[in-house]
C-alpha cells in the first residue's frame, strides 16, 4: 500500500535522508522511531506530498507522491509536527473549511464535521476559538482536520509532543481507537508510545534506516544473550561469585541491594541450577525472573552502540 524506494532528500548541501526504503501494508500500524534530526518529519512530508524528494520514490496505492499527489491526498490524512491550525477561527468553522479544502462533497461536509467532532471528543469546544484551547485540545483539532475526509491512511508526526501526561494518555487512547480502521504511521522519539500503539517499527538514524521489524523480531534478532534477575534474602555468602561459577553464565553482578543481574547464554534454562545453588547456600530466593529487552535497549543499541567503533 505504501512503498518507499531509495528515498533521498537534500536541503541545500545537507542530506536529511539517504536511500530510505520500506513498505507498509494496508491496516498496519507502524512506528517511525528516531532521535531528533533523524529524518522522520522529512520522510513523512515526502509521503504526504508536502515536499518533493531529491531522488527515489514514494508510492501510495501505486500512485506517485510527486506526480499524482491529487490521488494521494484523497486517501491520506496528515498531522504535521506543527498542526496547520488558524488560531483565530472557531473549531467547527475551521473543520468546515478543512473539509471544503480536502474536497469533501458539499452535501457531506456537515456530516463529516460532526463525525470528526464526535471521534475526537470535541463536542464541548466546537464553538470555541482554536487559539484559546489547551494544547491537548488543539492537537485533537489537528487530528480532526487530518481525518475530515475519512482517509484510509493517517500519518501522525509526533502527535503527543508538548502535551501534559493526562493529555498524552488521552491522545494515545484516541490514536489507539483509530488503529481499528486506519493504516497509521506514527513518529515519535518516545519509546513506550511506540510499544503501546505499534506492531512494527522502522528505526531511522542520521537519515538512514537502522531497522525495520516487528517489536518482537527486533528484540530477538538483537538478543545475543538472556538476562535473569535474582533477588535473595541473604546475600552474605558470595552470591555473585558463585553465580559466576556456573557454566553458561556470562556475567553476574549485584545490581542493587540483594538483587543480582545474570547475563547468560541464549536458551540456557538456568533457573533450575540457580534455584539449586540458592537452596544449597541458603540464599532464600525472593524472586527469580527473566528480564526482557525493552525497545529502549534496542533503540540505544541501534543508534548509539553500533556507532562506537567509528570513534
Ligand X SMILES: Nc1ncnc2c1ncn2[C@@H]1O[C@H](COP(=O)(O)OP(=O)(O)OP(=O)(O)O)[C@@H](O)[C@H]1O
Chain residues in the site for Mg ion (CB under 5 A): 40-41, 81
Nearer to Mg ion (CB atom), residue 41 or residue 65:
41
Q: Could you give the CA distance from residue 268 to residue 275 in angstroms, rounded to a whole number?
A: 14
Q: Could you give the CA distance from residue 249 to residue 239 in angstroms, rounded to a whole number?
A: 13
Q: Could you give the CA distance from residue 222 to residue 89 in angstroms, rounded to a whole number?
A: 50
Least separation, in Å, of the C-beta of 135 and ligand X? Answer: 17
Sheet holding 285-291, edge to edge: 249-256, 259-265, 225-232, 285-291
Q: Could you give the CA distance from residue 17 to residue 52 in angstroms, rounded to a whole number?
A: 12
Identified binder of ligand X from the candidate list 7, 28, 30, 34, rule CB under 6 A: 34
Site string for ligand X, 143-182 (x = CB under 6 A): ----------------------------------------
38 makes contact, choosing from Mg ion, ligand X, none, with CB < 5 to 8 Å by partner type, with ligand X
Q: Could you give the CA distance from residue 33 to residue 69 in angstroms, rounded to a whole number?
A: 25
189 makes contact, choosing from Mg ion, ligand X, none, with CB < 5 to 8 Å by partner type, with ligand X
14 makes contact, choosing from Mg ion, ligand X, none, with CB < 5 to 8 Å by partner type, with ligand X
Kindly tell me the burial class for residue 305, based on how many C-beta atoms sit within 10 Å of its own C-beta (0-12, 13-18, 19 or more): exposed
Least separation, in Å, of the C-beta of 161 and ligand X? Answer: 8
Site string for ligand X, 187-216 (x = CB under 6 A): --x---------------------------
* Residue 253 CB neighbour total at 10 angstroms: 12
Nearer to ligand X (CB atom), residue 12 or residue 309:
12
- Contact present, 246 and 274 (Cβ < 8 Å): yes
Using CB under 6 A as the binding rule, the residues of this chain from 74 to 93 that contact ligand X are 81
Q: Which three cell numbers stand for residue 170?
A: 488521552
Q: Which three cell numbers stand for residue 119?
A: 471521534
Binding span for ligand X by CB under 6 A among 32-40, 105-113, 117-125, 260-268: 32-40
- Contact present, 29 and 183 (Cβ < 8 Å): yes
- How many helices (H) and strands (E) in the chain? 11, 14
Nearer to ligand X (CB atom), residue 40 or residue 149:
40
168 makes contact, choosing from Mg ion, ligand X, none, with CB < 5 to 8 Å by partner type, with none
Binding span for ligand X by CB under 6 A among 20-28, 35-43, 111-119, 254-262: 35-43
Identified binder of ligand X from the candidate list 11, 103, 282, 305, rule CB under 6 A: 11
Least separation, in Å, of the C-beta of 34 and ligand X? Answer: 5
List residues bridging with 30 in a β-sheet.
185, 200
- Contact present, 75 and 151 (Cβ < 8 Å): yes
Nearer to Mg ion (CB atom), residue 190 or residue 285:
190
16 makes contact, choosing from ligand X, Mg ion, none, with CB < 5 to 8 Å by partner type, with ligand X
Q: Cα 265 to chain center, whole Å?
A: 30
With cell 505499534, the residue in question is 198
- Contact present, 183 and 153 (Cβ < 8 Å): yes
Identified binder of ligand X from the candidate list 13, 14, 127, 311, rule CB under 6 A: 14
Nearer to ligand X (CB atom), residue 157 or residue 170:
157
List interacting residues with ligand X (CB under 6 A).
11, 14, 16, 34, 36-42, 81, 189
Amino acid at each position: 500500500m505504501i512503498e518507499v524506494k531509495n528515498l533521498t532528500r537534500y536541503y541545500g548541501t545537507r542530506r536529511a535522508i539517504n536511500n530510505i526504503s520500506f513498505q507498509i501494508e494496508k491496516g498496519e500500524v507502524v512506528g517511525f522511531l528516531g532521535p531528533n534530526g533523524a529524518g522522520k518529519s522529512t520522510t513523512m512530508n515526502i509521503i504526504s506530498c508536502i515536499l518533493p524528494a531529491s531522488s527515489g520514490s514514494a508510492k501510495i496505492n501505486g500512485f506517485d507522491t510527486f506526480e499524482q499527489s491529487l490521488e494521494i491526498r484523497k486517501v491520506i490524512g496528515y498531522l504535521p509536527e506543527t498542526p496547520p491550525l488558524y488560531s483565530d477561527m472557531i473549531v467547527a468553522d475551521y473543520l468546515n473549511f478543512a473539509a471544503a479544502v480536502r474536497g469533501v462533497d458539499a452535501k457531506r461536509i456537515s456530516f463529516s464535521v460532526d463525525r470528526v467532532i464526535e471521534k475526537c471528543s470535541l463536542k464541548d469546544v466546537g464553538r470555541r476559538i482554536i487559539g484559546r484551547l489547551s494544547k491537548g485540545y488543539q492537537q485533537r483539532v489537528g487530528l480532526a482536520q487530518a481525518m475530515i475526509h475519512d482517509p484510509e491512511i493517517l500519518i501522525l508526526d509526533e502527535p503527543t509532543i508538548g502535551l501534559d501526561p493526562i493529555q498524552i494518555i488521552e491522545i494515545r487512547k484516541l490514536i489507539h481507537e483509530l488503529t481499528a480502521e486506519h493504516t497509521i504511521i506514527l513518529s515519535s522519539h518516545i519509546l513506550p508510545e511506540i510499544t503501546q500503539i505499534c506492531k512494527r517499527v522502522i528505526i531511522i538514524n542520521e537519515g538512514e534506516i537502522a531497522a525495520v521489524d516487528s517489536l518482537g523480531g527486533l528484540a530477538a534478532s538483537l538478543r545475543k544473550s538472556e538476562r535473569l534477575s535474582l533477588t535473595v534474602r541473604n546475600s552474605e555468602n558470595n552470591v555473585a561469585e558463585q553465580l559466576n561459577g556456573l557454566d553458561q553464565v556470562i556475567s553476574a553482578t549485584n545490581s542493587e541491594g540483594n538483587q543480582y543481574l545474570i547475563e547468560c547464554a541464549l536458551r540456557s534454562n538456568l533457573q533450575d541450577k540457580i534455584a539449586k545453588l540458592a537452596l544449597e547456600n541458603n540464599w532464600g530466593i525472593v524472586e527469580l525472573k527473566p528480564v526482557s529487552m525493552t525497545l529502549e535497549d534496542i533503540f540505544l543499541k541501534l543508534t548509539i552502540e553500533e556507532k562506537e567503533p567509528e570513534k
